[in-house]
Amino acid sequence: MIKVSSFIAGLLFDVSLLMAGMANPGKVLAFLDLAGTRAPSLGLVMVTAIAGVIGPLIGRANNPVRAGKGNAVTNQT
């Protein structure tokens, strides 16, 4: 089941990259070209990708259930 859900997530990611124009080398080069004409539309794709990678890592770090021994959370008011 995990392999099927991973495949579907990868397929959705690929389709979203195609829809955003990341398969068009000219559009990607226009986005990366700082001196010429910019294509800022791919910035949203990049920000979303970064948030998709960093978001779960932040959530995992603040989860007291996954904390190791000696990291007990106490309610001190």
Residue that is written with structure tokens 């829809």 in the block: 19
Q: Count up the domains in the chain and report the number.
A: 1
Q: Say yes or no to pLDDT of 43 above 80.
A: no
> Looking at residue 21, what is its pLDDT?
77
Q: Measure the CA–CA gap between 52 and 68, rounded to whole angstroms.
A: 25
Tell whether 27 is covered by a domain.
Answer: yes
72: left (phi over 0), alpha (psi -120 to 50) or beta: beta
Tell whether 69 is covered by a domain.
Answer: no
What's the pTM value of the predicted model, to 2 decimals? 0.45
Rounded mean pLDDT of 56-63? 64
Tell whether 28 is covered by a domain.
Answer: yes
Tell whether 70 is covered by a domain.
Answer: no
Look up the domain containing 41 and give its range. Answer: 9-63
Tell whether 30 is covered by a domain.
Answer: yes
Q: Say yes or no to pLDDT of 71 above 80.
A: no
